[in-house]
Structure 1
Amino acid sequence: MTEYVVRFLLGGVVVSLFAVLGDVLRPKSFAGLLGAAPSVALATLGIAVYQHGADYAGLQSRAMIAGALALAVYSFVVCQLLIRARLRAIPATLLSLVVWLVTVFGLLTITGAQA
């Protein structure tokens, strides 16, 4: 239970710091980029380092990077299916989900990271 409270508080502080940073930077679209996901990931990695050590956190960070790269590929494929193939949203996202799964598990296999 304590871990969840620490994660909540640390995540909230880091989210607030990123929100302030996003508010200061121009253009304002950075605010969305610096939203919750990066700060929660940093808080999670900080807790992982504290509880399990740097090696474990390194594995987790590689898994996060693989997920982010796979999300970029997924987003690109969804856009292509929506614009070029003129698919509806549900078929485009479901087809792209397969691409995401193949990409992320391929990257995890190549890097030796664990999901």
Structure 2
Amino acid sequence: MNTRPVVLVLLLLVLVITSQFEWKQQIGEAAEADPATARRRQQLLAREDAVKEKIILSQEKNIQQLNQLIESLQRQLLHCRGSNNTVHAATAAAAAAAATEVSEVEGHEIIEDENRR
């Protein structure tokens, strides 16, 4: 077997592959140097920035709405607590009044029982 032709074919193959990589790299650099491509890239970046800005504004709006809901719920909770305290105080006052009436009635009954004896 002749090794010389095989080595030459392998070297030629390596040369072709490396030249293709260099050629693609040069095309990429040339495309970056093209003003139209640079302008398109700037436009794409500007669009991305605009979309990001819209997303941020939308999130801020949602946060504000959530904060308003939290404040509303806190007010409702305070109102409910106030109503509950009022009902509890009224119930306690009514119970105390009922207990006082019962004590007075029992006191009168005891006095009447003692008078009967």
TM-score (normalizing by structure 2): 0.29
Q: Which has the larger radius of gyration?
A: 2
Between structures 1 and 2, the one with greater helix share? 2
The higher-RCO structure (CA 8 Å, 6+ apart) is 1
TM-score (normalizing by structure 1): 0.30
